[in-house]
Structure 1
Amino acid sequence: MIEYLFQNIADNNTRQRAWIDGLADLFEVRCEQDVFVPQTVYQRYYNLKKMMFTEADGFKQVAERKSSQIANQNIDHICISLQLSGQKKIATGGCVSEIGQEMLVVFDLSQELSIDRAGGGAELGAIVPRRVLDAWRGDPSSWHGRIIPPTTTPLTLLLADHLKGLRTCLRTAAPLQKDRLAEASIALCNAAFVAESDSAYNHTGVLGIAVRQAIDRNLATIDAETLMAKFGLSRTPLYKLFEADGGVYAYIRSRRLAHAMQQIASAPGGRRPKIAQLAFESGFENEQVFSRAFRRKYGLNPSEVDATYQVCPHDDRASRLMSWLREL
């Protein structure tokens, strides 16, 4: 479990910064500088191997998932959230909806959204890889931003009660019990929702996530031809997916350089990778080409990067949270 508690942080601004850092891998958070952060707020994340369970009690803030964060992370998960107290507004695709107490809402983490928590409030969440929601007819993307009162059907009421019970069970559950609880939760998520045919299904967004994940898994060897063959795409639709990134090859190069920077910056002192080896592993033809590209992107040579240049400067727990999501 990853847990963020704030009762021992006396300074309000420090509590605010710590809260924002805790959510950084899921959302970009904005809040007024003078907003009061109660010391009783918390965030908890449970890694159940097949899914993640979250619980939080927050304060007045706006949390957003933007296209830049979505493209950089390439995670393809659905979040089913239950509002326990307070209210919030969710904006997706120009549509704003209010979420009240005891309401369920579905988020597709591969699509943009904005959540305005005007008065704080507590909530629970199940974050599930899209691929395990195999009983949903259609694609879960069509549910993005949809609000469901638990009383809509007996199954949605059961799901809401299950999430509340799961919070209590996880505090003392043994590893085998957690595994079974995850299986039961996924089964119930599948049973509770039957997707309708919906024009909001974001085929392009889902495809873009899948293509970007393939690039990250094969950084050293990937090229446009491989992607076209793997996803059955012609050159034009493939290139269109990466228009905002300056083209598919510009995106691949950017991801290779980001990977290289992460390898250098996170290496323990005295154990930095050799530049030539790193260039090869990152998909560059030689050390000179790699060093020039690296210098253009970061303004310094690979050999000049030290431990103070961190790719992910926030709390290590947040980085661990993202690694959990990728492993689901």
Structure 2
Amino acid sequence: MSPVFQATLPSGRLLSGPIAMDNYHLGELLVGEVRAPAQILERTPRMVAQQGLDHLLLQFYHSGTSRVEVAWGEADVGPNTCILFDLAQPATVVAEPVHATNLLLPRALVAETVPNVASLHGHAFDYATDRVSRLFFTCVRELVDCADMLDVHQLPHISQAVAMLGSACLRGRAAARPANEVQLSIAIRQYIERELGSPHLDAEMLAAQFGLSRATLYRQFISEGGVQRFIRERRLLRAMKMLTQPTATGRPRVSTVAYTTGFSDEKTFSRAFKRRFGFLPRETEVGAGVWGRTADTQPVLQSWLKELAA
């Protein structure tokens, strides 16, 4: 579990029962199954910052219970319940022995149809009674059972189908808003992603582009703390990705990253970066060092997560 959570055993508890984790790489997403003992799992702010992952983890519980703690509060998870983790946000899980089916997918696969999926971080929902959720779970569960028998050429199509079904399930839970408002929200966020490198990207530019008042525009980003905060967060996450993922020419200069992600100067960028992640851009580590292992000994799951982030 170390590529995703820091795990410790609760005081006085012994390992008991079956312990196993299977994962299958389907090209664009990962599916798997876990049987885990009682443990405390932490995804700390520094771990989030150093890894720079922009993925979602969904766990469908078959048995066992957990208490999940995130910034907004706590949630209880049990059998027939799915919990969503946004790996770009911290979380703590206090778990009893658990058996669950896992799905890990890059945010990009659902972001266009579920624009505010980050608001679901730490939220649990019953996948047994809602028909769309049940269909989604059944698809993932059957996929785990047959993953090792699939042909390579089938994987991209299957990954896209799973992502679309997941979007259908999550979209109704992320917000109960009119369809035209959801489409507007999607369009605005797509525009922001395209224009992150522009230093002129701000609320005024967006309001003019979409013909909106500032009040209407702000309502689209209430769950993210406002439009400027959302833009800043997306810029910093993209900067972290550029700094931590190696390229053929090595890591780019800090000044290059600053200008590429829309900051007016390196000093402003470094100050914002440290405020968000707790350390300076020049202190980030490229590649395997970010994960605490060398490339020769890194676990398979760890390397797969990095591939999905590429």
- Identity rate of aligned residues, in percent? 18
1:232 correspondence with 2:262: yes
Partner of 1:312: 293
Q: Cα offset for 1:94?
A: 4.8
Structure 1: which 5+ runs fail to align?
A: 1-22, 263-309
Please give the root-mean-square deviation of Cα atoms over the aligned residues, in Å: 2.9
The CA distance in 1 between the partners of 2:100 and 2:150, in whole Å, is 21
Matches within 5 A, 1:122-133: 122-133=99-110
Q: Cα offset for 1:151?
A: 4.9
Q: Cα offset for 1:149?
A: 1.2
Assess if the C-alpha contact under 8 Å between 2:32 and 2:102 holds in 1: yes
Q: Cα offset for 1:313?
A: 7.5
The CA distance in 2 between the partners of 1:324 and 1:261, in whole Å, is 12
Assess if the C-alpha contact under 8 Å between 2:83 and 2:124 holds in 1: yes
The CA distance in 1 between the partners of 2:39 and 2:84, in whole Å, is 20
The one-letter code matched in structure 2 to 1:223 is V
Partner of 1:10: none
SS of the equivalent of 1:138 reads coil
Partner of 1:271: none
Matches within 5 A, 1:1-16: none
Matches within 5 A, 1:20-169: 23-32=1-10, 34-38=12-16, 40-117=18-95, 119-151=96-128, 153-169=130-146
The CA distance in 2 between the partners of 1:242 and 1:146, in whole Å, is 28
Change (3 A) 1:214 1:150: same
Assess if the C-alpha contact under 8 Å between 1:135 and 1:190 holds in 2: no
Change (3 A) 1:198 1:93: farther
Partner of 2:163: 186
Assess if the C-alpha contact under 8 Å between 2:80 and 2:128 holds in 1: no
The CA distance in 2 between the partners of 1:229 and 1:317, in whole Å, is 33
Q: Cα offset for 1:228?
A: 3.4
Q: Cα offset for 1:132?
A: 1.4
The CA distance in 1 between the partners of 2:88 and 2:254, in whole Å, is 23
Partner of 2:202: none
1:210 correspondence with 2:238: yes
Partner of 2:206: none
Partner of 1:243: 275
Assess if the C-alpha contact under 8 Å between 1:142 and 1:198 holds in 2: no
1:327 correspondence with 2:310: no
The CA distance in 2 between the partners of 1:64 and 1:93, in whole Å, is 13
Change (3 A) 1:238 1:103: same
The CA distance in 2 between the partners of 1:33 and 1:198, in whole Å, is 42
The CA distance in 1 between the partners of 2:121 and 2:296, in whole Å, is 29
Assess if the C-alpha contact under 8 Å between 1:64 and 1:115 holds in 2: yes
The one-letter code matched in structure 1 to 2:2 is A
SS of the equivalent of 1:36 reads coil
Structure 2: which 5+ runs fail to align?
A: 176-219
SS of the equivalent of 1:114 reads strand
The one-letter code matched in structure 2 to 1:138 is P
Change (3 A) 1:207 1:102: farther
The one-letter code matched in structure 2 to 1:68 is R
The one-letter code matched in structure 1 to 2:243 is I
Matches within 5 A, 1:267-306: none
Q: Cα offset for 1:315?
A: 10
Q: Cα offset for 1:69?
A: 0.9
Assess if the C-alpha contact under 8 Å between 2:67 and 2:94 holds in 1: yes
Q: Which has the larger radius of gyration?
A: 1
Change (3 A) 1:33 1:145: closer
Assess if the C-alpha contact under 8 Å between 1:111 and 1:205 holds in 2: no
Q: Write out per-residue CA displacement over residues 5-24 of structure 1, whole angstroms, 9 at most, x where no aligned residue.
A: xxxxxxxxxxxxxxxxxx11
Q: Cα offset for 1:39?
A: 5.5
Assess if the C-alpha contact under 8 Å between 2:46 and 2:277 holds in 1: no
Change (3 A) 1:246 1:185: closer
